[in-house]
Structure 1
Amino acid sequence: MNKHSCAVSRRQRRGAVRLLLAMILLGVFPLDVLLPSFPALAAHFGRSPSDIALSISLFAVGIAFAQLLIGPLSDVIGRKGLLLAGMSVSLLGALGCVLSNDYTLFLVFRVMQAMGCGCFVLSQALVQDLFEGQERDRLRILMVTATGIFISLSPLAGTFLQATLGWRGSFWVFIALAAVVLIKTWRLLDNSRPVQNGPHLGFIQSYRRVLSNFPFVGYWLISAFAFACHFSFIVTSPLIFMEQLQMAPYDFALILLIYGAAYVFGGLLASVLNRIINAQQQIFTGLSLILLSGLVMLYLATNHELSAAAVLVPMLICTVGTTIARPPATSRAMSVFAENAGASASAGSTIIFICGGLVSALISLGPANLQATLGYGFVVLSGVSLLLNSVIGRRVSNLRSNPVMPGGDH
């Protein structure tokens, strides 16, 4: 009986891993894969590319708003129903985009798709619910690695879909994937609610509780700053490689494939480090590599002409550091309020979203020398994160020496 239960549990865990990876892939499709189709969308709707870019902004706003509601609500009513509802809404929104011939209607359906995609914030809550200990940490390493690989492959996939299926191609693929994931979610997850060790809290109370905790916010900021380094490069990479270095779109896609390989190496190294050093040391190692990448970037920008290698080499170092630092920081943040995993995931995702957007916008709007601006950004972000990691470490050590009630303002 016990052996059978363990076997079922192993099958469920394997299914959960596949489900989580599919959710990460679905999160990439509505944004990154669509970018090569901007000119085609502008031609179809008779609008300028800047008007089409508005759909990306509205999509981001829709996700941000939806996830703020979905996370705390999932702590009360459970994850499965919200995931099924969210994926159904996103599927219908994508279908509406495919059938739209009016730009305003297209924007409405894009917001609808975004509101549904807000359910993907529950991926971190599901990790907290279904896995424990080092298995949970290893899975978060895999998720960060997969995110980087999917994003790196996106321009090439988007170019292929645009060439074969037109601008609707990414939406059709999203619809097919969402339908498969919806069925998998319905079959894999049960209807049980998350374990609640404390009182049920409303939205405002939940966020007030988690955001008043310094280690929680600090760990999420570390994860957010590491992500911002990666996201800033993704946002500015077309400007550097395609505008300044005059690379063809296909060559640019190949550059990002090499960038994606760094996520694979970083994930393997992070898995090894997860077994031999503690989370605080893993975070320090990853952030130190990001700091090193910033210094290398600044040296190359000052002493050498702009080239693909002068940008890519420090970015490979940065990517390995990001892959090492983010998973333990996320795990430590999520463990602070394990009984409110939904609200914790939503708060953390919002912090990451805000930091990534603001930092990437500042860098992309900065001086003409984007290479040097990236380098300065990496040095500042990694330096602040190293300081946060040190302060949190001392704070946690003091709390262990003088324990207080969990969830308080400390």
Structure 2
Amino acid sequence: MKNRKTTLLILGLLSAIGPFSIDLYLPAFDIIAQDFNTNVENVQLSLTSFFIGIAFGQMIYGPLLDKYGRKKPLLVGLGIYVVASILCAFTRDINHLILLRFLQALGSCGGMVGARAMVADYYSSREAARVFSLLMLVIGVSPILAPSIGAFMLQHLDWHYIFIFLTILAAVILLGTKFLLPESYAGNKELSLKPKSILSNFWQVLSNNTFISYCLIGSISSAGTYAYLAGSSFIMQTLFGLSKSQYGLAFAFIASAMIIATQINRWLLKKHSSARISLIANIWQACIGICMVIALSLNLLTFPTLLILIFLFLFGYGFIFPNTSAIALSPFKGLAGSASALLGCIQMAIGALASAVVSLLHNSTAWPMLSVMAFGAVASLVLHLFVRRFVKTNTELA
């Protein structure tokens, strides 16, 4: 592969555009609520609609990526994202913002699906796990930079400029994809886009024990991350009184946990299997989730304690994501687009559910966020233990 570093950078940016779109405007929740004369819970729904859009949109891109190759659907998706971002910048109604965020998500998820499919195209199964860890380095920079950039922009500019910034960023990624990213799969023109054929391909993926087992393990584990995204702004800024810049720094510190974990994971993969690493990380994450709930119930949850516990929680997730993703996608090549779409769809659907539950259970305490985080971690561990003992999976990574 020519220009491997450039290719990895673009793949990372394509993967990060969705997360960056989430994290950049988190510090602006209270300002947007005031501007639209609504409450923070309604603004949180714009985050939920984004998750739903990503979950739904990936099901569209999967078949398109398998039929027309990887780049054409990517370029269309990025074009949709640019238009939606411009409209978000100029909207003056919370309901319109919720709808436009859904449309923005439809554009961004093409990059997420395409990047995962291209990793499966380019690399063998074990190498793919290392590449996913490397991509997480780029993705992990997003929650470190985005809230800080958002907080800085809010100190000098109106919140609408956040979406103008996203428009410019997406345009740069679009140009990089067009001119610098090599096509990894020309597509199979014989694949039918009729509903029956698409459903048949999806069923072929879903009926694979390796895929569905490790897809669900990783997706349920990710529920805690999405619960954190939905609730962190209120808890840190309102309950603990952090300023927007302080919140950005706290968010960056916590996000660094995933970067550290994913890079350690690349080294661990030289000696251990992906399944073993992800199982140990599952145990770690579940223990931390339980500790958070115990600390809260005993009124021991000071801000430093919360910060450290969430850091340790996401540290565990940094090992779970790349390994379960690589295992889930390992059985597929020709249907890598559909498999990647289903993987992302299920993960985002669970993420949307987690963020919606945090919003619906909002009671001006940390209970909704922390209880959802703990539940997701424990449920993922229980499933992982069941899979290891009772489910036969066909993968060199297990």
TM-score normalized by structure 2?
0.86
Counterpart of 1:406?
A: none
Counterpart of 1:116?
A: 107
Secondary structure of 1:336 counterpart? coil
Q: CA deviation at 1:166?
A: 1.5
String of CA shifts for 1:245-285, please: whole Å, max 9, x gaps: 33333322222222122123212321121111012211112
Counterpart of 2:127?
A: 135
Between 297-306 and 90-99, the greater mean CA deviation after superposition: 297-306
Which of residues 378, 385, 396 is equivalent to 2:393? 396
Residue pair 2:27, 2:248 contacting (<8 A) in 1 also = no
Q: In structure 2, do the counterparts of structure 1 residues 290 and 104 end up closer, same or farther at CA, with 3 Å as the change threshold?
A: closer
1:77 equivalenced with 2:68 (yes/no): yes
Q: CA deviation at 1:80?
A: 0.7
Residue pair 2:12, 2:115 contacting (<8 A) in 1 also = no
Counterpart of 1:385?
A: 383
String of CA shifts for 1:47-86, please: whole Å, max 9, x gaps: 6655544544443333333221111111011111111111
Q: CA deviation at 1:149?
A: 3.5
Cα distance between partner residues in 2 of 1:211 and 1:131: 22
Cα distance between partner residues in 1 of 2:337 and 2:382: 27
Q: In structure 2, do the counterparts of structure 1 residues 211 and 383 end up closer, same or farther at CA, with 3 Å as the change threshold?
A: same
Residue pair 2:13, 2:139 contacting (<8 A) in 1 also = no
Q: CA deviation at 1:326?
A: 1.6
1:311 equivalenced with 2:311 (yes/no): no
Cα distance between partner residues in 2 of 1:335 and 1:22: 23
1:147 equivalenced with 2:139 (yes/no): yes
Residue pair 2:55, 2:347 contacting (<8 A) in 1 also = no
Residue pair 2:134, 2:262 contacting (<8 A) in 1 also = yes
1:215 equivalenced with 2:201 (yes/no): no
Cα distance between partner residues in 2 of 1:104 and 1:256: 27
Counterpart of 1:161?
A: 153
Q: CA deviation at 1:127?
A: 1.0
Counterpart of 1:180?
A: 172
Cα distance between partner residues in 1 of 2:79 and 2:126: 33
Q: In structure 2, do the counterparts of structure 1 residues 130 and 304 end up closer, same or farther at CA, with 3 Å as the change threshold?
A: same
Between 255-264 and 148-157, the greater mean CA deviation after superposition: 148-157
1:65 equivalenced with 2:56 (yes/no): yes
Cα distance between partner residues in 1 of 2:47 and 2:366: 26
The structure whose Rg is larger is 1
Which of residues 117, 138, 146 is equivalent to 1:125? 117
Q: CA deviation at 1:232?
A: 1.9
Cα distance between partner residues in 2 of 1:197 and 1:132: 24
Q: In structure 2, do the counterparts of structure 1 residues 287 and 256 end up closer, same or farther at CA, with 3 Å as the change threshold?
A: same
Cα distance between partner residues in 2 of 1:291 and 1:51: 30
With CA pairs under 8 Å and 6+ residues apart, which has the higher RCO, 1 or 2?
Answer: 2
Q: CA deviation at 1:384?
A: 1.9
Between 79-88 and 309-318, the greater mean CA deviation after superposition: 309-318
Secondary structure of 1:339 counterpart? coil
Q: In structure 2, do the counterparts of structure 1 residues 163 and 25 end up closer, same or farther at CA, with 3 Å as the change threshold?
A: farther
Q: CA deviation at 1:147?
A: 2.8
Q: CA deviation at 1:35?
A: 2.8
Secondary structure of 2:334 counterpart? helix
Cα distance between partner residues in 2 of 1:351 and 1:62: 12
Q: CA deviation at 1:154?
A: 2.6
Aligned length: 389
User: CA RMSD for the aligned pairs?
Assistant: 3.0
> Any unmatched runs of 5+ in structure 2?
none
Cα distance between partner residues in 1 of 2:285 and 2:374: 11
> Any unmatched runs of 5+ in structure 1?
1-8, 401-410
String of CA shifts for 1:136-173, please: whole Å, max 9, x gaps: 21121123343344124332221112223322222222
Counterpart of 1:16?
A: 7
Counterpart of 2:22?
A: 31
String of CA shifts for 1:154-194, please: whole Å, max 9, x gaps: 32221112223322222222122112111111113455745
> Superposition pairs for residues 94-109 of structure 1, below 5 Å?
94-100=85-91, 109=100
Cα distance between partner residues in 2 of 1:108 and 1:290: 34
Q: CA deviation at 1:304?
A: 5.2
1:300 equivalenced with 2:308 (yes/no): no
